[in-house]
Chains A and B, each alone.
Chain A
Amino acid sequence: SQQGEEDPQALSIQEGENATMNCSYKTSINNLQWYRQNSGRGLVHLILIRSNEREKHSGRLRVTLDTSKKSSSLLITASRAADTASYFCATGTGNQFYFGTGTSLTVIP
């Protein structure tokens, strides 16, 4: 299976704390993307990191990519209750994406 794996599966933190999620994948990739999904809703694209990039920032988000370890991490700083959602990484060599198992983040106000 090309599906990635994420850990932790569930994460609960207090508002204001940082949240870190990890994603491991199995095959070679061109890029890796992170998405969030509120319960029962569609996906929202957060950030894309290319295979030749090591780190990328977007607002309170910081993504790292280690292609030698086939892993990526998503850091959300100064978390807010509104960040409560499921977060997925997705990898692909083209337009076909394979999603990780996801991390369910709960930010407690």
Chain B
Amino acid sequence: SQELEQSPQSLIVQEGKNLTINCTSSKTLYGLYWYKQKYGEGLIFLMMLQKGGEEKSHEKITAKLDEKKQQSSLHITASQPSHAGIYLCGADRSGTASKLTFGTGTRLQVTL
């Protein structure tokens, strides 16, 4: 089984709607990273969460870390076509952020 499970696997939302992507770890989290990837391209860093209860926002994207549940959520408010892509959570396994393990990914499509 995967160490990092993301849900849902894929998501189609209408422009303007809100959405949430979840990332659950089966092992202790030292840090949680969120990245976005367009098909066949590199990863774009979104946010890094290191402390339980931490919440960060950037433009219309908010991420939270629940250390006790070993879970993180990514919430997008008023989605836009530019939000489309694959969202990946990455977990720091070593406490050094050198060994990142990525989640299974969530493919987001935003329709007009």
Q: Are A and B genuine complex partners?
A: no
Listed in ascending order, the chain B residues whose CB lies under 8 Å from chain A are: none
